[in-house]
Amino acid sequence: MQTRMCPDDMAWEQAEATADRWLVQFLEVDILRPIADFILNHNRGVATEFAILRKGSYNISLRLKYRNSATVIRLSQPGAVLFPEEKVMNEVAIMRFLTDQTSILLPFVLHSGTKEESPLGLSPFIIMDYIDHETKMYDALNIPGCPKEERGILDPQIDEDRLEMLYSQMAGILLQLSAPSLPRIGSLSQTDDFTWEVTRRPLSMNMNELVRLGGLPRSKLPDLHTIFDTSSSYMEALAELNINHLVHQRNDSVDSADDCRRKFVARQLFRKLARDKRLTNPLLDQGPFKIWCDDLRPANVLLQENMHIAGVVDWEFTYAAPTEFSYAPPWWLLIEKPELWAKGLEDWTISFDARLKTFIRAMKNREDIAIQQTPIARGSATLRPDE
């Protein structure tokens, strides 16, 4: 039974057109020069080169090279990001939080600001250090020689020791993300140098996509300052979003009356399970909650030449979430998502189960090492006394 909805193709075309019109300006010198000058105002030095680094799904990044280092400015992309100011605020806060609370290697944030504060009023931005690297975890796991325009999958012939070594490093990141504890579900705000609070809604990648490609009115999302005290209440909110999505998407949502009925029933059943608190562990319902990144995947993990992690990037859709999110097996073990697996869901499940054994072994080894070095902290972020 297919209960997943396809994106609205008309909304997708409009979003892509908006993004393309905005991106084309970066081919003009008159646009690039003020951006470079803007970076130099915040990080002075002798610049040697300035160019577009990459266009991602949600941002465009430009790199200014110096003699012995480099700086990146990352601008949120209209048409791809529906909540750019909120996205940047959340990402800066979580990056600084993780830098303080963990040893995960992240770019150092030099400066950030709103669209009005950006060069030429282009978009909300972050200026950060560039992390020098040789490759990405995605390329190390992917089939060798896979064309960039094709979707990658885990190399079926990958050496087991190599796979466990790479999985082990990803497990180390997840282990560190699971250490800090937070009292509520939502996005973080930094109140001073060493204090963070959960003050805003958990802005997820799914929320952005439901508005961008699913026709969901912004008014149907949780209010900006909505935070959740329990996992079950958050799951109920997600159930309502899925139902409203089915109601509001105009195109490509259903194939027939029967298809519509199946999708409606599936969403109603999900909401009933959420209301009956059957989707969460009662012992964990009131927290503590854990850091969760919607976009943590091998493509965002940078590697040195020796295949050790150089840094982890793209933290925009990261928030305090139900503990179950952190404890579930990661979907990216095969690189490709199950719904996009060319051979179908059953084949994906078989392949995933085999690789999951390797990942669990790698995670157990990381936990054992952490326990030997120092007990895994039940750490919590520094919070205000009234919390």
Using the Cα atoms of residue 262, residue 207, residue 97 and residue 288 in order, give the sign of their dihedral.
negative
Q: What's the pLDDT score for residue 290?
A: 97
Under-70 pLDDT residues of the chain: 1-3, 375-387
Radius of gyration of the chain (CA): 21
- Cα 96 to Cα 30, 110, 194: the distances in Å are 33, 11, 9
Q: What are the residues facing 143 on neighbouring strands?
A: none
Q: Tell me the C-alpha distance between 153 and 337, whole Å.
A: 9
pTM equals 0.92
DSSP string of 209-232?
HHHHHH---GGGSPPTT--BSSHH
Q: What's the pLDDT score for residue 372?
A: 87
Q: What's the pLDDT score for residue 382?
A: 42
Q: What's the pLDDT score for residue 2?
A: 57
Which residues have C-beta within 8 Å of that of residue 110, sequence separation ≥ 6?
Answer: 42, 43, 71, 127, 128, 129
Q: What's the pLDDT score for residue 149?
A: 86
Q: What's the pLDDT score for residue 379?
A: 45
Q: What's the pLDDT score for residue 3?
A: 59
H or E element that contains 16:
helix 9-23
- Asked if residue 78 lies in contact with residue 22, where contact means CB atoms within 8 angstroms, the answer is yes
pLDDT tens for 259-276 read 999 999 999 999 999 999
Q: What rounded mean pLDDT belongs to the chain?
A: 93
Q: Tell me the C-alpha distance between 62 and 68, whole Å.
A: 17
